[in-house]
Structure 1
């Protein structure tokens, strides 16, 4: 019997976009440390990206990664398969993955598919969901060349500008509609994309997500306060875009919330612009950020549960996830809506142990996380002996 007096019971949160850095960069994160951060954040299931070292682009590497997760992850896990210009056979043959990840613009790692003919070939062959990092590589290269004489992190959102995002999103949508291929657009960042998506027919072919940092942080303030800690791809933008993203989420144009948890060490982030890597941690603070918004009457608890649990489970057709019902998996989180805590670097479960929200007081926190009926997080401590299960995709 669990005494939950004064607490609120929710289905476990699902983070549909994380980079837990294993294999290849365990100094930043691995499947164990990342899953511990997830558990502490009330996240009971995650979907991890393929831009590892080596990248997960074959069935063999996928099997190896699933084995690592089975040995190490304290919460439930699923994986994307990475697309390259020449692994179409592997993409269509791999079993039980949440989707195919395409980097239309270069980011962390060396997975890039920017040739329109290759993109068309992937979209036109197969039926599995395709998730895109939508930034146009030609625009990124052109802007980088134009601004190459300036080394300042505040240029990041000018190099990776709105036009790069919109151009790539439009191309992905065109291919999705042309070939009737299920498309998920990762981490939207612009008002321009939201306006474009509003004009599309509302059918179940195309879905989208937003990261909390893209509607809670804004430029230039975030760069002035955080420097390269605020550098990510696609970038944080101005308040106009942040407000538009929040409105699109509220209006149902954006379907779910993901963190794009992509940690780098503080030492890596302290390098000059151009050398400092892009990405920030987020899986441990996303639910608290949203519960704080509920407390400030910006949204309802029901909306948060939909955006962070029910909707990702539906979009990726996860079996047994996303709701509290008889027959569903016992993935649950107890939250204390009155609890106030301040986010502190050095007090987190992610291996890099920093957050862009350091010093921010939030009201509403997960206090107990249950995965498959087992308590994995309680009173600030993770039970590192618990193991999650591989998510089954319909």
Structure 2
């Protein structure tokens, strides 16, 4: 039997911070107590007073496999994830071929079983014509259905109202929506071209992918969910106006929930002058006022979940003019560290961070036996040091694309160790050998 004992930890779990040891046997938490005696041959990690958290569950990543592996793949991105304290991820369907049927889901699971260092689940992508695949989706083994209600690539844009109504009416699992109104975005692009030609400055991005475009689409998604009684999770909110549509309060019992992303909480439009296309993403990083509203919404439980929307591209792809540069940032390696900066600034408590990055995700998606430090649950843990800084430029970037939008940043915390299903996946700067993630199951 494999055994691991973490001693002398400050455990942050279920709204409290306590001194505790955690004993793990065969991947699961066997005991949480004070001063546990180490079993013979157990691996021991001395936390030495550092904080032990349930691992981050990232409900939105793009790992690009299959079909786009020149820029990312499950092996590299999951390694970056565990280095960043992310023990579990839910991955998006806009790959090649898109994940829009059972065979494509099975192919992704097979790849992850071989190469993923973190636990995993995969969204089924909705299209205008795959309603039968949606109806057949197994709610016990699939995290959700992704609906692109805004400009996308390939066959992933759902712009037919009849199809939308059918999807929202029939979905056996939560629907996750990307909300930007395509006609509004296209009109804004045309206006920018008229003003600037093809040389549009990056500072125009939050006005091309505008607050109006976001609100028009997210309000439509919410109306559809209310009409059909659908479980809806609106991802990567970016605007103060949208936040008014979401109720504050605990995630438990909510039909309609929301997500904020780490880069929208960290950057605002002032950063385009330095970062340029490196922080181009959809929906766009917007104004300082919008960012402050997002931070307040996290604190008041109007935003239920914090995620990444990790979406790597090669630097050569990003270093192109506005219209050619793709949208998306590699984020998983530094996501939790960026959120901890808000703790250092006095905006979030550690208990709030754990709730938004782990507890609430597990509750929202009804993940089986993960997301909490409880006896009998899987041991998905991250040990953080809030007093040891991380200089981003001093560490290798583990994402396959090889760069980070946080270059030049010194975070005030660091990741000391990450435990995935009882295995040491990362410790003191090194990714563990032989660590393999597990597929998620759901209690629905």
Paired residue secondary structure (1:33): helix
Q: Pick from 367, 377, 391 the counterpart of residue 328 of structure 1.
A: 377
**CA distance change for structure 1 residues 206 and 336 in 2, over 3 Å: closer, same or farther?**
same
Q: For 1:338 and 1:186, locate their aligned partners in 2 and report how far apart those are by CA, in whole Å.
A: 32
Q: For 2:98 and 2:292, locate their aligned partners in 1 and report how far apart those are by CA, in whole Å.
A: 35
Q: For 1:200 and 1:14, locate their aligned partners in 2 and report how far apart those are by CA, in whole Å.
A: 20
Q: For 2:342 and 2:170, locate their aligned partners in 1 and report how far apart those are by CA, in whole Å.
A: 42
Give matches, 1:252-263, under 5 Å.
252-263=301-312
Q: For 2:366 and 2:154, locate their aligned partners in 1 and report how far apart those are by CA, in whole Å.
A: 28
1:124-152: CA deviation from partner (whole Å, max 9, x where unpaired): 12332100001111111221222223222
Match of 1:128 in 2: 173
**Residues 1:317 and 2:366 aligned together:** yes
Q: For 2:214 and 2:161, locate their aligned partners in 1 and report how far apart those are by CA, in whole Å.
A: 16
Higher mean displacement: 147-156 or 193-202: 193-202
Q: For 1:200 and 1:46, locate their aligned partners in 2 and report how far apart those are by CA, in whole Å.
A: 24
**Residues 1:118 and 2:168 aligned together:** no
Higher mean displacement: 344-353 or 247-256: 344-353
Q: For 1:167 and 1:85, locate their aligned partners in 2 and report how far apart those are by CA, in whole Å.
A: 20
Q: Pick from 265, 286, 290 the counterpart of residue 215 of structure 1.
A: 265
**Residues 1:5 and 2:55 aligned together:** no
Match of 2:86 in 1: 43
Q: For 1:300 and 1:263, locate their aligned partners in 2 and report how far apart those are by CA, in whole Å.
A: 30
Match of 2:4 in 1: none
Match of 2:23 in 1: none
**Residues 1:174 and 2:223 aligned together:** yes
**CA distance change for structure 1 residues 192 and 204 in 2, over 3 Å: closer, same or farther?**
same
Q: For 1:108 and 1:73, locate their aligned partners in 2 and report how far apart those are by CA, in whole Å.
A: 26
Per the TM alignment, residue 295 of structure 1 is displaced from its structure 2 partner at its CA by 2.4
Q: Pick from 176, 183, 187 the counterpart of residue 138 of structure 1.
A: 183
**Residues 1:339 and 2:388 aligned together:** yes
**CA distance change for structure 1 residues 315 and 270 in 2, over 3 Å: closer, same or farther?**
same
Q: For 1:313 and 1:217, locate their aligned partners in 2 and report how far apart those are by CA, in whole Å.
A: 27
User: Residues 90 and 143 of structure 2 are in contact (CA less than 8 Å); yes or no, is this contact kept in structure 1?
Assistant: yes
**Residues 1:82 and 2:82 aligned together:** no
Paired residue secondary structure (1:147): helix
**CA distance change for structure 1 residues 274 and 110 in 2, over 3 Å: closer, same or farther?**
farther
**Residues 1:205 and 2:255 aligned together:** yes
Paired residue secondary structure (1:9): strand
User: Residues 291 and 365 of structure 1 are in contact (CA less than 8 Å); yes or no, is this contact kept in structure 2?
Assistant: no
Q: For 1:300 and 1:19, locate their aligned partners in 2 and report how far apart those are by CA, in whole Å.
A: 28
Unmatched runs of 5 consecutive residues or more in structure 2: 1-43
1:49-79: CA deviation from partner (whole Å, max 9, x where unpaired): 0000110001001100110000010110011
Give matches, 1:1-394, under 5 Å.
1-95=44-138, 96-107=141-152, 110-149=155-194, 150=196, 151-198=200-247, 203-219=253-269, 221-344=270-393, 347-394=396-443
User: Residues 379 and 419 of structure 2 are in contact (CA less than 8 Å); yes or no, is this contact kept in structure 1?
Assistant: yes
Per the TM alignment, residue 93 of structure 1 is displaced from its structure 2 partner at its CA by 1.1
1:234-267: CA deviation from partner (whole Å, max 9, x where unpaired): 0000101000011111110110101000010100
**CA distance change for structure 1 residues 260 and 34 in 2, over 3 Å: closer, same or farther?**
same
Per the TM alignment, residue 110 of structure 1 is displaced from its structure 2 partner at its CA by 4.2
Per the TM alignment, residue 107 of structure 1 is displaced from its structure 2 partner at its CA by 3.2
Q: For 1:171 and 1:303, locate their aligned partners in 2 and report how far apart those are by CA, in whole Å.
A: 30
Q: For 1:92 and 1:157, locate their aligned partners in 2 and report how far apart those are by CA, in whole Å.
A: 36
User: Residues 74 and 384 of structure 1 are in contact (CA less than 8 Å); yes or no, is this contact kept in structure 2?
Assistant: no
> What is the count of residue pairs matched by the alignment?
393
Q: For 2:250 and 2:48, locate their aligned partners in 1 and report how far apart those are by CA, in whole Å.
A: 45
Q: For 1:117 and 1:201, locate their aligned partners in 2 and report how far apart those are by CA, in whole Å.
A: 33
TM-score (norm 1): 0.96
TM-score (norm 2): 0.86
Q: For 1:345 and 1:224, locate their aligned partners in 2 and report how far apart those are by CA, in whole Å.
A: 24
Larger Cα-atom Rg: 2
Q: Which has the higher strand share?
A: 2
Per the TM alignment, residue 385 of structure 1 is displaced from its structure 2 partner at its CA by 1.8
1:335-363: CA deviation from partner (whole Å, max 9, x where unpaired): 11111121128721111121111111111
User: Residues 92 and 122 of structure 2 are in contact (CA less than 8 Å); yes or no, is this contact kept in structure 1?
Assistant: yes
**Runs of 4+ more than 4 Å apart:** 198-203
